[in-house]
Amino acid sequence: MSDFVKNQNWRYATKKFDAAKKISTQDLNTLKEAIRLSSSSYGLQPYKVLIVENPELRSQILPAAWGQSQIVEASHLLVFANQTSISDSEIDAFFENMSKTREIPLETLLGYQGFMKSKINELTEDAKEIWNSKQTYLALGNLLNAAAELKIDVTPMEGFDPAQVNEILGLDKLGLNASLMATIGYRHKEDATQHLKKVRKSNEELFITL
């Protein structure tokens, strides 16, 4: 746990990346696995994660992200795109996967399957999209923690125009919406932000014990 806390103190939202340093395939695969293993409500993972390596696409996204240089300087750009809705067929596919993975008859899961459908289907379409979007933040948390362990820098971003990013990446046609972005790579030695002390509330301000 001491290493975990140390790594959390090391990490920060990197402002300037070293464009010459690229993440290895092995480390990228580790980060992908950390995202894949993230928790989500019911375990449904109602999102996709786009790994944008194409320089032209990233240049197109740059204005939509208010000109933040990390978009083009970082080793990779990740776009967390939530599903705009969720259907019974997707829930059915989830339970088929559960049945196969855990080697249990699908029939034994029908009660839970019906319960899940009833709870999700009672949500409005807007509520479903908000709920799906929230799941991407859980995946981002796993990315941040895994990257810190590997001493890979991450800048989580909400500062962008989702509609523009959706259009550039064709997400609308896939029933997806860009909810979060994260640039990953290695901090530039000239990024002065890395030397600043982390500003957080004290334990007394943050926690309430009942």
**Which pLDDT belongs to residue 20?**
98
Residue type, 46: P
Of all residues in the chain, the percent with pLDDT exceeding 70 is 100
Mention every residue, 6+ apart, whose C-beta is less than 8 A from residue 153. Answer: 11, 12, 14, 17, 74, 147, 184, 185, 186, 187
Q: Map residue 37 onto helix, strand or coil.
A: coil
Residue pLDDT, tens place only, 85-141: 999 999 999 999 999 999 999 999 999 999 999 999 999 999 999 999 999 999 999
Question: How many whole angstroms separate alpha carbon 58 and alpha carbon 65?
Answer: 10
Average pLDDT over residues 158-183: 98
**Which pLDDT belongs to residue 2?**
79
Answer yes or no: is 19 within a domain. Answer: yes
Answer yes or no: is 35 within a domain. Answer: yes
Number of compact structural domains in the chain = 1
CATH number of 184's domain: 3.40.109.10
**Which pLDDT belongs to residue 1?**
59
Answer yes or no: is 156 within a domain. Answer: yes
- What is the reported pTM? 0.95
